[in-house]
Structure 1
């Protein structure tokens, strides 16, 4: 499944909600599992995510994330020479736990 990041789909589990060159907001919903891994990885390569110095990962509508997707997020946010400041907002306890297991808590701030 390929999703055009410039034309967000309502059924896609992740989309770029906004990106202005300094800050990007990624909105997550539903389940982010191995079936959605490729969609996530393609989205994380979007040119709009190369410049922002800060990312907000809005996860209040995300019910489940598997470890492979959590690692993909970690790789994306740490691959730049100067990684962006990451804020994870609204993660449910199970999602928060998976992100912690992947090590995202070492590079991100978590907000309720």
Structure 2
């Protein structure tokens, strides 16, 4: 990979109709916001009523990416049952700062 080539987005999505799982890893910072927002508009995610966000391997989440997650969850055409699992303390703090804890069940 060339030195200036972007790294792949550290988020994978799997969905089976009503349930979607996003698995996060590495660092999600301002440079990754647009890519994350694009991933969050995936039709498979928008059709699911239950979202599980696995954050066990996410080492850093900045406010812009956390706000992107909040916007995606609160602008879904139908209400979403949002569960966040495995987030580190620093990531949970960021989620709390943007208000995601008001619309999601956050489990350590």
For the residue of structure 2 that corresponds to 1:71, the secondary structure is helix
Normalised by the length of structure 1, the TM-score is 0.87
Q: For 1:60 and 1:105, locate their aligned partners in 2 and report how far apart those are by CA, in whole Å.
A: 17
- Residue of structure 1 equivalent to 2:104: 108
TM superposition shift of 1:50 = 1.4
- Residue of structure 1 equivalent to 2:12: 15
1:19-51 Cα deviation digits (max 9, x unpaired): 011100001000000111111000001111111
- Residue of structure 1 equivalent to 2:40: 44
- Residue of structure 2 equivalent to 1:85: 81
> For the Cα contact (< 8 Å) 1:99–1:105, is it kept in 2?
yes
> For the Cα contact (< 8 Å) 1:56–1:87, is it kept in 2?
yes
Gaps of 5+ in 2: 1-6
Q: For 2:85 and 2:57, locate their aligned partners in 1 and report how far apart those are by CA, in whole Å.
A: 10
- Residue of structure 1 equivalent to 2:62: 66
Q: For 1:49 and 1:11, locate their aligned partners in 2 and report how far apart those are by CA, in whole Å.
A: 19
Q: Which has the larger radius of gyration?
A: 2
Q: For 1:80 and 1:32, locate their aligned partners in 2 and report how far apart those are by CA, in whole Å.
A: 22
Gaps of 5+ in 1: 1-9
